[in-house]
Structure 1
Amino acid sequence: MSAFLALLRHELRQVGRGGGDVLTLVLFFVITGAIVPFAVGPDQELLARIAPGIVWIAAFLAMLLGLDRLFRPDHEDGTLALLRLSGLPMSAVVAAKMLVHWLVAALPLLVASPFVAVLLAMDGSMMVGTMLSLLLGTPALAAFGAVGAAVTVGLRRGGLVAPILVAPLSVPVLIFGAGSIGGQQAGSALLLLAALSLTSVAFAPFAAALAISSAED
């Protein structure tokens, strides 16, 4: 446990040195929500109806921006090889990186989501539903992103391939995420979203660790 916490602190320090990445993700998320009204028009009812889908698409695209930095820098400088020899299971290494990825890429989006909700003409209940939906669903996006980044870590242009692999896996998250914001089936969609996140977070570290071990061998 001490080794895991030490790795977690190291990853957080690394993120702190590149603090501009977090701002970039948040700005991308907000700007994506801001430009939709210009494309759709001033119809408030239409905006409110499509807003859940727009929020989740913006969150998904924003989280994709940080995938290439999840494992690739450590792979290129040999840190991953050293971590394999450290005695800490590679699945624990992946879990630490996945947790930091969620804290950096998803938690700021959760904080910024009320601003996007206002831009998309959501009412108060939909705004709260948006925050709850992102809280329950973004761990699954982080888990799928970790698997995609691990599978492509050894490829020369893996940063371009990873989003293509992650997108099909993330479709159920987007469906349940959008369905959990308002509507008659919001409660059921939230439960399915939470179940999907729990399942993916439980299995993703082992799948990603296997992919990394194959790339390192």
Structure 2
Amino acid sequence: MIYLLRRELLLAMRRRAELINPLVFNVMVVALFPLAVTPDMARLTLLAPGILWVGALLATLLSLDTLFRYDYLDGGLEQLATRDTSLSAAVMAKIMCYWCFTGLPLTLMSPLLGMMLGLPMAVMPVTMLTLTLGTLAFSCIGSIGAALVVGLRRGGLLLSLLILPLYIPVLIFGTGAIGAATAGLDYLAPLAMTGAITFFALALSPWVAAGALRLSLND
């Protein structure tokens, strides 16, 4: 597993320009939103949880279709499927690598973006925790959709249609936790639901995505 993760990290470093795109996109969404809606800080504070989460969701979708595509095109997936190494372990390594270069930077940027939207500093730990769990869930769930469309040309649109409904519960509970913390209410229930969805997806998605990849390879 450590070898596979190291391999994925080295391959990802060769495509650093592609990895920066989601981060730039997220910053642009958050920065332009006040210009399109209102510069009133009080209203922006109410909208901030939704803005941060929708920005993170769309930024994750931006490069998700490339999760397995390069390995599919150069035959790397076929080699992984025929080696002694479990394909689900390779999928898990890809998920963690993708999250490290996409979800983790989005989470680390969230305090700065939250301050731009007027979120109190006391809410930042909850914001970072929910985004850590949520972006990991996005990566896990998205890996299943990416595996299903890996053999299709221009499968990005179909990928979005497949996984967006599955993202909605994470989005609801994540924004609910930040909104409750901002209002001074108990946020543990939505935070616990976000964590439960994340760990459930983390446990199942490598196996489901590996099965979907085998179907794509056999087509």
Say yes or no: does 1:88 pair with 2:85: yes
Residue 29 (structure 1) aligned to one of 23, 26, 29: 26
What secondary structure is seen at the aligned counterpart in 2 of 1:121? coil
- Displacement of 1:37 in angstroms is 0.7
- Displacement of 1:115 in angstroms is 1.6
Query: Which residue of 1 is the match for residue 203 of structure 2?
Result: 202
For structure 1, the residue ranges without an aligned partner over 5 or more in a row are none
Residues 162-196 of structure 1: CA deviation (Å, up to 9, x unaligned)? 11111000000000010010412421110000000
Amino acid of the structure 2 residue aligned with 1:213: R
- Displacement of 1:136 in angstroms is 1.9
Tell me, yes or no, if the aligned pair for 1:150 and 1:212 is still in contact at 8 Å. yes
Identical positions, percent: 41
Structure-to-structure mapping, 1:34-183, within 5 angstroms: 34-183=31-180
- Displacement of 1:127 in angstroms is 2.3
For structure 2, the residue ranges without an aligned partner over 5 or more in a row are none
Shift >6 Å, 4+ stretches = none
User: Structure 1: how far apart are the matches of 2:148 and 2:20?
Assistant: 27
User: Structure 1: how far apart are the matches of 2:39 and 2:63?
Assistant: 33
Aligned CA RMSD, in angstroms, stands at 1.1
User: Structure 1: how far apart are the matches of 2:39 and 2:81?
Assistant: 55
User: Structure 2: how far apart are the matches of 1:48 and 1:190?
Assistant: 19
User: Structure 2: how far apart are the matches of 1:156 and 1:19?
Assistant: 23
Tell me, yes or no, if the aligned pair for 2:115 and 2:121 is still in contact at 8 Å. no
Tell me, yes or no, if the aligned pair for 1:30 and 1:115 is still in contact at 8 Å. no
Tell me, yes or no, if the aligned pair for 2:46 and 2:179 is still in contact at 8 Å. no
Residue 14 (structure 1) aligned to one of 11, 14, 22: 11
- The total of aligned residue pairs comes to 214
Amino acid of the structure 2 residue aligned with 1:215: S
Residues 89-114 of structure 1: CA deviation (Å, up to 9, x unaligned)? 11111111011111111000011111
Query: Which residue of 1 is the match for residue 189 of structure 2?
Result: 188
Amino acid of the structure 2 residue aligned with 1:157: R
Q: TM-score, normalised by structure 1?
A: 0.95
What secondary structure is seen at the aligned counterpart in 2 of 1:68? helix
Amino acid of the structure 2 residue aligned with 1:191: A
Residues 22-60 of structure 1: CA deviation (Å, up to 9, x unaligned)? 322211111111111111112211110111011000000
Tell me, yes or no, if the aligned pair for 1:22 and 1:108 is still in contact at 8 Å. no
Amino acid of the structure 1 residue aligned with 2:170: V
- Displacement of 1:126 in angstroms is 2.3
Tell me, yes or no, if the aligned pair for 2:170 and 2:194 is still in contact at 8 Å. yes
Tell me, yes or no, if the aligned pair for 2:142 and 2:163 is still in contact at 8 Å. yes
- Displacement of 1:159 in angstroms is 2.2
User: Structure 2: how far apart are the matches of 1:30 and 1:7?
Assistant: 31
User: Structure 2: how far apart are the matches of 1:155 and 1:164?
Assistant: 14
